[in-house]
Amino acid sequence: MATIHAEPQADSSPAGQQQIINNLSIQVATVNGSGSQTANLVLLRAIFQMGIPVSGKNLFPSNIAGLPTWFTIRASQHGFIARRRDSEYMVAMNPETAEEDVMTLKPGAACVYDERLNLKRLREDVIFYPVPFDQLVTPVCPDARLRKLVRNMIYDGILARLLGIEMEEIHKALQKQFKKKAKAAELNWNAARAGHEYAEKNLVKADPYKLERMNATAGKILIEGNAATALGALFAGVTVVTWYPITPSSSVCETLTEYMKRYRIDQETGKATFAIVQAEDELAALGMALGAGWAGARSMTSTAGPGISLMAEFVGFGYYVEIPAVIFDIQRVGPSTGLPTRTAQGDIISTALLSHGDTMHPMYLPCSVSECFSMAMDSFNLAEELQTPVFVMSDLDLGMNTWMSEPFEYPTKPISRGKVLSAEQVRQMGGFQRYKDVDGDGIGYRTLPGTPDRLCGWFARGSGHNEKAIYSERPDVYVNNMDRLAHKFETARTKMPPPVVVHGATNEVGIIAYGTSHWAIEESLGQLRREYKIDAGYCRLRAFPFTREVHDFINRYERVYVIDQNRDAQMLGLLRLECSAEEISKLRSVRHYDGLPIDARSVTDEIASQEGAN
Amino acid sequence: MATTTVPPSPSAKLNRIGLEMTHYKGNKTTLCAGCGHNAISERIIEACYEMGVEPHRVAKLSGIGCSSKSPAYFLNSAYGVNAVHGRMPSVATGAMLANRHLIAMGVSGDGDTASIGVGQFVHLMRRNLPIIYIIEDNGCYGLTKGQFSATADLGSKLKTGVINDLPPIDTCALAIQLGATYVARSFSGDKRQLLALIKGAIAHHGTSMLDVISPCVTFNDHEGSTKSYSYVKDHDSPVADVNFVPFFDDITVDYDPGTTKDITLHDGSHVLLRKVNVDYDPTDKGAALHMLTESHDKGEILTGLFYVAPEKPTFIDQLNILDEPLATLPESKVRPPKEVLDQVMQSLM
């Protein structure tokens, strides 16, 4: 073996090879339920603490323990945080997948592996670092039952030594990870140190990859999208939260519950300023949210594709009766159960038009954890201003992975409750008509149940109703009501955030993307310029219905590529609904739907191919 | 909370909060003439009037079906939601979370409850949400022209001659077993008993579940039906004579202490049960379930208050929610200060 039994080296960089600093992707292949998540997050955080831009993608199975799982850590001095298709470094811990994992590596890549797996025989063009994990874990973890969980921390120490990650940062990250569990932190720290010592004494660095301290993460935070969404709801002043567990959305309400218990207990009385209920299913979760919205609460639920399907009838009810509620959809791969732990933008069309009859719903399209936070807050205001269900379309990649971000900003906009009348206002007016378009924006005035005046009562019904909310089957009444709702949707358009547009040097190629695709596009724009001389414009959608700027963008470019993380080009489909024939003729599609987060290379090569540039 | 009152007409009788009976009326019914549901609406109106319920506090809730239309026919000045089929319990739950001072008055049907809605019904009962949940039970789907529901009795016959070959779901037994704390069955034609039971339900603190047999005059009031007026009249077997004394009245009803059981409800009202044919304790869950099983076997339709547990904490109690409605909390109570965000951000660095 080339790298084992070597003398310990003072300098761990190989002689005569040019180092590659702060630009690598590490893939860790482990078994689900083996405590690898802790080891991976500590690694991620340690790199972050060294000031190096970093991202982590957890590719996990729909299973609690025993199936293969991969975690990719990408460090990029340029700040690119999209997934990369290839990795320079592999940590092969899973006997089931190790051989296949090694075969995916590019020539020149490095592989740390469990010695017993004997992977070295498989490739001559890969640099191997065998490690006797079992031998190393026994002395640092006397309790045999815990060894499985501590074992993975050894590779943190190995990688720290091989890549130059500072051990003090591993230590700090460990303490952050374990918070008050000092014993667990110590046990893991000993394992990391054992790995580091082993590498120092036994492994000779033979690859060019290195991490060096820089200053690109100072003042930044690390957070998962679902936690950011929960924080947004907390500061939005949500009062009723009703939900049903489903991957990948469960951590929205679980994290929110923790925050609410900590920050939303009334100081004077010790009582909750909120109610959180785990419902019996998604139908009930949304039914409760709508019941609460009708009675005046700021209510929400969170779900994923199958839940969206179940909520379809109630969403139509909310739309037609005009009740506010916020629905967070953390999208995953469908149809049916699909790939429940993989990412997609799979619910775009079904959610935009959810329910029977003519229905359309506003959707926010966050791309980042900071937008998860800010759009959560905006969505509650919008739902109450428009008196309608509003969706926030996150996805598994954004929701469940850890992202680097600037700290979130405290809201400057006050909470907006929309058009709610008090008893006194109704008395002064001598009554009110629930569905009358008084202001010309399609939005009526409402009273909340419990408002103490006999003139305030009204009946919310999903059947045909007139302006006074009284049952009616008259054709003209129905048409007027539906036209007013369509007009209300036009009002929604004026309240949605416009796209973020960056123009290219020429007007030939434009790119439209949304959500987590943004991170791949950001990187792809440079690749297209450098490799194919395509200087494309970029329009990142932030909401549906689309604003005027989206049409301006399409009109400016000759060819516009719409990037979707789904098979059927769903956003392109929605654009078709709202675009002119001339605009539609310019639209092209780039689709990515293998369950993995979209990467820049896939986008670049596909656009280049369609442009005939390669 | 103050209620604005219109000056009463000189002759009108006012209730204890100064409102006339007309204040509690609804729109004109569109149900069939003679429909049992209309009689139930009338009892709701009387009960609310006599109890002095503030109409603006009432949330009328229903699902879909003939039964679910009826909230439009009582308490016009209250607030109402006619929700989707079988899902009224979730809407009611959300409304009560938003404003715990509302009085949830749910009206459902046997299809809306025991067929499409049985899932939400089960969880509503289990939570003991403060709600009056009335099933207007005619054993069939009226609005879609008479198909069997899941409360139709075994062997019961449709107008078309089709015989029901599945056993019924006993919503009362289900409710008792699941955790509802005031469970009764009545008959839309029994004015006195039904009125007393609705008043008791209004006074009760948790989930009150009333299954009211309400014959469908159009589709299920023929020979062979077990939910027809004549069948129910012949087979009705009251477990006890029910009388209700609200908290604002002293018990002055003429009764013989030796044969009457007095149950004090959470608000201080009393339900008085005069023994008729069984020596029966409505606080004994097991006995209530046993009695219901026995009566089924005998082919009787047992009516009356079967089970009551006045002190059991409600879902709202358990959530430890602030006393003022969540719906109208000011921004200062629901948006934490900037220091909290700073603190959270610091912990994520």
Interface of B with A in 16-35 (CB under 8 A): 23, 27
* A286-341 per-position pLDDT tens digit: 999 999 999 999 999 999 999 999 999 999 999 999 999 999 999 999 999 999 99
**Number of Cβ atoms within 10 Å of the Cβ of A16:** 5
* A522-581 per-position pLDDT tens digit: 999 999 999 999 999 999 999 999 999 999 999 999 999 999 999 999 999 999 999 999
Which residues, in sequence order, are CB contacts of A456 under 8 Å at separation 6+?
A: A421, A423, A426, A432, A447, B56, B77, B79
Same fold, A223-405 and A500-610: yes
Cα separation, A21 vs A460, in Å, equals: 63
Please report where in the chains the tokens 């078709």 appear, as a residue.
Answer: A576
What is the bridge-based pairing of β-strands A509-514 and A402-405?
A: unpaired
Cα Rg of chain B (Å, integer):
21
What is the bridge-based pairing of β-strands A23-31 and A68-76?
A: antiparallel
Cα separation, B306 vs B238, in Å, equals: 10
Contacts of A180 in chain B (CB under 8 A): none
State which H helix or E strand residue A59 sits in.
strand A54-59
Q: Is the dihedral of CA B30, B36, B39, B44 positive or negative?
A: negative
Q: What is the pLDDT of residue B16?
A: 94
Which of B1, B48, B79, B340 should one mutate to test binding to chain A, selecting the residue with the greatest count of A CBs within 10 A?
A: B79
Contacts of B122 in chain A (CB under 8 A): 280
Q: What is the pLDDT of residue B255?
A: 58
Mean pLDDT of A426-442: 97
Q: Report DSSP letters for A154-218, one per residue.
A: HHHHHHHHHHT--HHHHHHHHHHHHTT-HHHHHHHHHHHHHHHHHHHHH----S-EE----SSST
Q: Give me chain A's average pLDDT, please.
A: 95
CB A323 within 8 Å of CB A314: no
Superfamily of domain A20-218: Pyruvate-ferredoxin oxidoreductase, PFOR, domain III (3.40.920.10)
Dihedral of the CA atoms A295, A298, A304, A309 (nearest 10)? 30
Q: What percent of chain B has pLDDT over 90?
A: 68
Q: What is the pLDDT of residue B300?
A: 86
Cα separation, A441 vs A492, in Å, equals: 9
Q: What is the pLDDT of residue B253?
A: 53
Q: What is the pLDDT of residue B280?
A: 80
Q: Give me chain B's average pLDDT, please.
A: 91
* B167-191 per-position pLDDT tens digit: 999 999 999 999 999 999 999 999 9
Q: What percent of chain A has pLDDT over 70?
A: 97
Interface of B with A in 254-313 (CB under 8 A): none
Cα separation, A248 vs A102, in Å, equals: 29
Q: How far is CA A507 from the centre of its chain?
A: 31
Q: Where are the domains of chain A?
A: 20-218, 223-405, 423-492, 500-610
Q: What is the pLDDT of residue B144?
A: 87
Q: What is the pLDDT of residue A472?
A: 96
Q: What is the pLDDT of residue B1?
A: 42
Interface of B with A in 122-141 (CB under 8 A): 122-123
Classify domain A223-405 at the CATH class level: alpha beta
Q: What percent of chain A has pLDDT over 90?
A: 93
Which of A36, A236, A32 has its CA nearest to residue A151?
Answer: A36
Is residue A605 helix, strand or coil? helix
**Number of Cβ atoms within 10 Å of the Cβ of B299:** 10
Is residue A457 helix, strand or coil? coil
| pLDDT over threshold 80, residue A465 | yes
Selecting from B54, B76, B322 the residue whose C-beta is nearest the C-beta of A269 gives B322
Classify domain A500-610 at the CATH class level: alpha beta
Please report where in the chains the tokens 């948790």 appear, as a residue.
Answer: B206
Q: Cβ of A272 under 8 Å from any chain B Cβ?
A: yes
**Do residue B327 and residue A415 have CB atoms under 8 angstroms apart?**
no
Q: Check residues B265 and A591 and name the one with the higher pLDDT.
A: A591
- Residue A57 vs residues A72, A164, A396, A508, B61: alpha-carbon distances, Å: 5, 22, 10, 34, 46
* A401-425 per-position pLDDT tens digit: 999 999 999 999 999 999 999 999 9
Q: What is the pLDDT of residue A33?
A: 83
Dihedral of the CA atoms A98, A103, A107, A112 (nearest 10)? 0
Q: Which domains does chain B have, with CATH numbers?
A: 21-323 (3.40.50.970)
Which ipTM did the prediction report? Answer: 0.95
Tokens of A255: 């994290």
Between chain A and chain B, how many beta carbons pairs sit less than 8 Å apart? Answer: 241
B115 DSSP 8-state letter:
I
Q: What is the pLDDT of residue B320?
A: 97
**Do residue A449 and residue B338 have CB atoms under 8 angstroms apart?**
no
The 3-state secondary structure of A544-590 reads ECCCHHHHHHHHHCCEEEEEECCCCCHHHHHHHHHCCHHHHHHEEEE
| pLDDT over threshold 60, residue A25 | yes
Cα separation, A597 vs A593, in Å, equals: 9
- Smallest CA–CA distance from B92 into chain A, residue: A291
CB B106 within 8 Å of CB B61: yes
Q: Cβ of A108 under 8 Å from any chain B Cβ?
A: no
Contacts of A299 in chain B (CB under 8 A): 94, 98
- To the nearest whole Å, the CA of B244 is away from the closest chain A CA by 27
